[in-house]
Amino acid sequence: MNSTTLRLVLFGFTASVGSLLLSACGTDSEGTIQIYTGRHYDLEAAFEAFESEFGIDIEFLEGSDAELRERLQAEGDDSSADIYMTVDAGNLATAAEQGLFASLDSPVLDAAVPAELRDPDGSWYALSARVRTIVYSTERLAPDDIPTTYEELAEPQWKDRVCLRTSSNTYTQSLVASLIANLSYDATLEVANGWADNAHIMAKDGILLDSIRDGRCDVGIANHYYLARKLAEDPDYPVGLVWANQNDRGVHVNLSGAGVLANADDPELAQQLLEWLASDGQNLFVDGNNEYPVNPDVAPETLIANEFGVTFEGDRTNASEWGLLNAEAVRLLDEAGYE
């Protein structure tokens, strides 16, 4: 092990970067950083490159988002964690509201991460963009028939032709929260009522995409990178993508991100890592999962650039704003009878 150890505590992040998975708190030593992670995607290349460049080893503790937040609160000042990393702005906003994060002053992060994809107080920053948008059958829908807004999928013409994720899914909740932030609660409830009437509800985005392929439905809403994976396996996969709401507020952009914890033992080193992931290490962080970079100066990887394009108009509502509307979104979906 190198003389300096970076210990990353990433919520939901499954990785083994030449590092030790942590099983207990209180094992940190001076000059080390831990990540608690809830990400479930392979990011070894990014962290191995950081280790190699800076001579720092990285250690991870895995868990669900809620479990990791509960653990951090229970550990308090005794925690050896330095970074909390997770997916979905709602999880990051909740952690910030619970006082788990330090407020960073980082010109590097402020320059690399657009204002709408970071906490206004510097508590957390997006590190990759996950665009949740409309997908459709390229075999059964003509170009003029493809819906271009989330609201259209609530219209009667799409009865039994839509595939959507469950109400318990984080991506569904965050999309609805973003609609509440943009449209109002009552207007979003009307949309959700239409979705509930029209949709087949699916457990996973991959199942949703295959259901469109197989003819169970004609359109749906999915994260872009799930379709990228399908196209990587089969370039003729008969499902396409359209960026939603390009003529008004823009498509919903969710994220994965992280913040330095308020009780971090090595906050400077932890901040250095986040800055590197948002700048020099940005492609290594996003490319392996076909995510879009948040840094506007970094080009997306070839597959998604060729299939989906390099640019799109994203919703500029600050992610922390709709991230804090998660409870309202859950209540609204229940009120709409959305499963």
User: Beta strand pairing status for 125-137 and 56-62?
Assistant: unpaired
Residue range 145-159: average pLDDT?
98
Q: Where are the domains of the chain?
A: 4-129+254-298, 130-252+315-335
Per-residue pLDDT, 42: 67
Give the confidence band of 27 by pLDDT, cuts at 50, 70, 90: very low
Give the confidence band of 31 by pLDDT, cuts at 50, 70, 90: low
Residue 108 token pair: 């590097």
Per-residue pLDDT, 41: 65
Q: How far is CA 302 from CA 80, 165, 244, 287, 309, in A?
A: 39, 28, 22, 9, 9
CATH number, span 130-252+315-335:
3.40.190.10
Give the confidence band of 226 by pLDDT, cuts at 50, 70, 90: very high
329-333 long-range contacts, Cβ below 8 Å, gap at least 24? 329/173, 329/174, 329/176, 329/177, 329/180, 330/167, 330/173, 332/176, 332/180, 332/185, 332/188, 332/189, 332/192, 333/167, 333/172, 333/173, 333/176, 333/192
Per-residue pLDDT, 17: 37
Residue range 102-107: average pLDDT?
98
- CA 259 – CA 275 distance, rounded (Å): 11
CB atoms within 10 A of CB 283: 16
Q: Does domain 4-129+254-298 have CATH number 3.40.190.10?
A: yes
Predicted confidence (pLDDT) at residue 5 exceeds the cutoff of 80: no
